[in-house]
Amino acid sequence: MNGRKKVAFYTLGCKLNFSETSTIARKFNDEGFDRVDFKENADIYVINTCSVTENADKRFKTIVRQAQKVNPEAFVAAVGCYAQLKPEELAAVDGVDLVLGATEKFKITDYINDLSKNDFGEVHSCEIEDADFYVGSYSIGDRTRAFLKVQDGCDYKCTYCTIPLARGISRSDTMKNVLQNAKEISEKGIKEIVLTGVNIGDYGKGEFGNKKHEHTFLDLVSELDKVEGIERLRISSIEPNLLKNETIELVSKSRAFVPHFHIPLQSGSNILLKKMKRRYMSELYTDRVSKIKEVMPHACVGVDVIVGFPGETDEIFLETYNYLKELDISYLHVFTYSERDNTEAANFADVVPKNLRAKRSKMLRGLSVKKRRAYYENQLDSTRTVLFEGENKEGYIHGFTENYVKVKSPWNPELVNTIHKVILTRIDDDGLVRFDFIN
């Protein structure tokens, strides 16, 4: 038996959190720890938290209990957004020993000295104004794709959102660093990089620790497109007002960027968009989708939408529903609005009852299923490239085309992390697409 201590990680929330967990895990590795699965016995359990929905708060307690079940003596640390927003609340959870805020989480190994259990969780959290420096990170969760963080924080003041409170001001990695990380990833044989951040279209801001801009998101995209060895680049989620025509044009002619955009809408009603303090109206959103479809008719467009925001009457909800029904999009991510402390919207009148929020959410999820189905049908008989994933799912291997159609084929380990040309032939009973190889 080696005497090395073991550490396990659990990540809640977004792709950005996954990339940061990976970076923190590499720190532990450098300090002589072995990483094990969260279900296994470890000396330290690190939980990277999320604050976007109420559910994330509840799940935190469950995850702490899971860790304690495996090893009641283990040291439990909480980091991430919820740890920044409600450090005392997390520290009070039975079994939690350490809570680190936004600036401290990357220095976690400095705080873990003797690993003895604390009677109360010890809190190190900064004033969020101090979170003004940038820590680059990337995650290699599986062998097929990596999440590369290029930006952190947000200067927007959307009335429902706690992210600026949890992550601080908008700031970016230097171009040099991003390109270096991208090269490192490609040298590990990973075929696809997903760019992530809190507000990635804002890239460039704070690149030098101040607001001075040298680079823009367009510069970043054009430089990354030149990095050799990366076969696919995907933009995770980008605000409609920051997705410029030039970027859309560049993706359409790009070597590596794939025709897939995920663009938050939040509401199809201009009345609600104003209440949310979003930085666009629905007309601009329509314009972005039209532009994408004009230069890339086969592109996949995903949409974030919030239901049940204060003031969402039946008419306003139907306005959003019908707007999305008519729009040429491929799928929806539906979020049910939940009140968050210290946000403006938490004090708004005209609160939508929870049962109504749930009903509307169900309607939009149903619409998403139809949209995805129509999009997949539209792609049948087309020639695409598929990157195959690494898991045997009940005798099948799954993969994604460049334009985000999910496909399946009987399990064949030789296909893992390879890219093949295929022709999409039919939709299976489970909604996934079958194909024929093109030799």
Q: What pLDDT, in 10s, does the model give residues 169-216? A: 888 999 999 999 999 889 888 899 999 888 999 998 876 655 666 899
Of 33-37, 84-88, 266-270, 322-326, the range with the lowest mean pLDDT is 84-88
Q: Rounded to 5 degrees, what angle do the CA atoms 106, 111, 116 make?
A: 135
- Structure confidence at residue 114 (pLDDT): 52
Confidence tier at 53 by pLDDT (50, 70, 90): low
Residue 122 reports pLDDT greater than 80: no
Neighbours of 155 (CB within 10 A): 15
Measured CA to CA in angstroms, residue 32 lies from 6, 23, 140 at distances of 9, 15, 19
Query: Element (H or E) spanning 425, and its range?
Result: strand 419-427
Chain segment 334-361, per-residue pLDDT in tens: 999 989 888 999 999 999 999 999 999 9
- Token pair listed for 42: 């470890």
Residue 128 reports pLDDT greater than 70: no
- Structure confidence at residue 111 (pLDDT): 76
- On the 0-12 / 13-18 / 19+ scale of CB atoms within 10 A, 189 is exposed
| 3 state SS of 348 | coil
- Structure confidence at residue 117 (pLDDT): 54
Chain segment 65-101, per-residue pLDDT in tens: 999 999 999 999 999 888 888 888 888 888 888 888 8
Residue 392 reports pLDDT greater than 50: yes
Confidence tier at 426 by pLDDT (50, 70, 90): very high
- Structure confidence at residue 15 (pLDDT): 79
- For helices 217-224 and 175-187, angle between their N-to-C axes, nearest 10 degrees: 30
- Structure confidence at residue 267 (pLDDT): 97
- Structure confidence at residue 287 (pLDDT): 97
The residue with greater pLDDT, 201 or 124, is: 201
- Structure confidence at residue 59 (pLDDT): 86
The CA distance from 153 to 131, in Å, is 9
Q: Find the mean pLDDT for residues 219-232.
A: 93
Strand pairing of 171-172 and 192-196? Answer: unpaired
Q: Find the mean pLDDT for residues 232-246.
A: 94
Average pLDDT along the chain = 89
Strand pairing of 260-266 and 232-235? Answer: unpaired
The CA distance from 402 to 391, in Å, is 19
pTM for this prediction: 0.80
- Structure confidence at residue 44 (pLDDT): 93
Of 54-58, 183-187, 321-325, the range with the lowest mean pLDDT is 54-58
Neighbours of 252 (CB within 10 A): 15
Confidence tier at 1 by pLDDT (50, 70, 90): very low
CB 170 within 8 A of CB 125: no
Residue 218 reports pLDDT greater than 90: yes
